[in-house]
Structure 1
Amino acid sequence: MMTNLASQPKLLTGNRVYLRPMNGEDAQMYYEQLYVAETRRLTGTHKFATKEQISRYIEAKSQDSSSVLLLIALKETDEVIGDIALQDIDTINRSAGIRIAISYEQHQGQGFGQEGMQLLLEYGFGVLNLYRIELEVFTFNPRAAHVYEKLGFVREGVKRKALYYNHQYHDVVTMSMLADEYRAKYSIPES
């Protein structure tokens, strides 16, 4: 489903995509994206949710200071193509997890996710002053792992057989980026 909401505020803007907050009007679209089979597989999503549960989730996330949940939209058309989040933000240890989903195959492999990640990494390290951002990627998704490495994430380890999906166990690779690695890769001077 294509959702055009040009009147929505743009929190972070890149060359081809922008990130914007999610609101109650997005519940139907988010619900539909949650049930795209390939996206569910690539994200290891097991849970099923009703539209009402999705609406409550969006409302709860808007009040949750330990996460930033944003939609990814194309600048040219305002079409929402996925979502991205910083989650489990720990202000004491200055760390968080990051996750992303580009919901439809026609938008995958075109660099939109990479640009969205760059925008949220800039926000996480720059605005939120995080020191460490980590993620997990499944071994059956080498394309995503390659993109994360290109962005500057470092492989830390493997959780063996940590995901059970579609009658099989899969390994989960943990990756992270530290603030000094981010600044070095993107030529950002120390403050």
Structure 2
Amino acid sequence: MIDLNALRAKPTLSGGRVRLVPLTEEHTDAFYASTLDEEVRRLTGTHHMPSYLQVQEWCATRAESPDRVDLAITEQPGGRFVGELSLQDFDPDNESAGYRIALSAIEFTGQGLGREATRLILEYAFGELGLHRVWLHVHAFNMRAIAVYRACGFSVEGRMRDSLFWDGRRHDSLLMAILEHDFAKASR
């Protein structure tokens, strides 16, 4: 069983092209700008646009959150904010958690940044937190994200039909998950 007290210390994780750092108030401007990007909102299925003050409060309180891990994805070198991710909905008895990632602009897609960030957080989830399963939801039209998740070792476990209503059309979402041993295989 995982110890939720371990979630109080937010990690900094470094790879070759990205660095994951605790999400803080300093990320407010870039995070807020990403909420205004129509394509980012479509890919994440985000209908509600938060106010600047809501984003500021969210960023300022993430380090104190005892039940989730929220990290900013920054580009290496330079430290430019390129997105954010989280491990959330922890189920300590079943050693599982949900995963969510959003790059802050389409200009950052197709460069391997999301893949590297996903691999870093999975190494942390399985190696440091002792999780057995990490799951996520992705809209079925987001083929680029699905390809990244598959490359990291995620498998489709189910389909939620018509779960998103966007621009007058209904879209399915996929439930994907990765188990600890799947990640070990995918990382070889």
TM-score of the superposed pair, with normalisation by structure 1: 0.89
Deviation at 1:151, TM superposition (A): 0.8
The equivalent of 2:33 in structure 1 is 32
CA distance in 1, matches of 2:20, 2:124: 11
The equivalent of 1:87 in structure 2 is 88
SS at match of 2:110: coil
The equivalent of 1:76 in structure 2 is 77
The equivalent of 1:116 in structure 2 is 117
Indicate if the aligned counterparts of 1:66 and 1:90 stay in contact, CA closer than 8 A: no
The equivalent of 2:5 in structure 1 is none
Aligned length: 179
The equivalent of 2:7 in structure 1 is none
Deviates more, 1:49-58 or 1:165-174: 49-58
The equivalent of 2:133 in structure 1 is 132
CA distance in 2, matches of 1:79, 1:114: 17
CA distance in 2, matches of 1:135, 1:42: 14
Matches within 5 A, 1:169-188: 169-187=170-188
Indicate if the aligned counterparts of 2:31 and 2:104 stay in contact, CA closer than 8 A: no
The equivalent of 2:3 in structure 1 is none
The equivalent of 2:64 in structure 1 is 63
SS at match of 2:116: helix
Q: Could you list the runs of 4 or more consecutive aligned residues of structure 1 that deviate by over 6 angstroms after TM superposition?
A: none
Instruction: Indicate how the Cα distance of structure 1 residues 83 and 93 shifts in structure 2: closer, same or farther if over 3 A, else same.
Output: same
Q: What letter corresponds to residue 183 of structure 1 in structure 2?
A: A
Q: What letter corresponds to residue 109 of structure 1 in structure 2?
A: G
Q: What letter corresponds to residue 158 of structure 1 in structure 2?
A: R
Deviations 1:20-67 (A, max 9, x none): 111112222211111111111001111121111112222333222221
Deviations 1:114-143 (A, max 9, x none): 000000000111111111100111111111
CA distance in 1, matches of 2:40, 2:17: 21
CA distance in 2, matches of 1:132, 1:47: 29
Alignment gaps of 5+ in structure 1? 1-8
Indicate if the aligned counterparts of 2:37 and 2:105 stay in contact, CA closer than 8 A: yes
CA distance in 2, matches of 1:79, 1:125: 27
SS at match of 1:81: strand
SS at match of 2:131: coil
Q: What letter corresponds to residue 182 of structure 1 in structure 2?
A: F
CA distance in 1, matches of 2:117, 2:80: 14
CA distance in 1, matches of 2:171, 2:86: 23
Deviations 1:129-188 (A, max 9, x none): 11110011111111111111111001111000011122211000110001121123324x
SS at match of 2:19: strand
Deviation at 1:10, TM superposition (A): 7.6
TM-score of the superposed pair, with normalisation by structure 2: 0.90
SS at match of 2:145: helix
CA distance in 2, matches of 1:10, 1:63: 13
SS at match of 1:92: helix
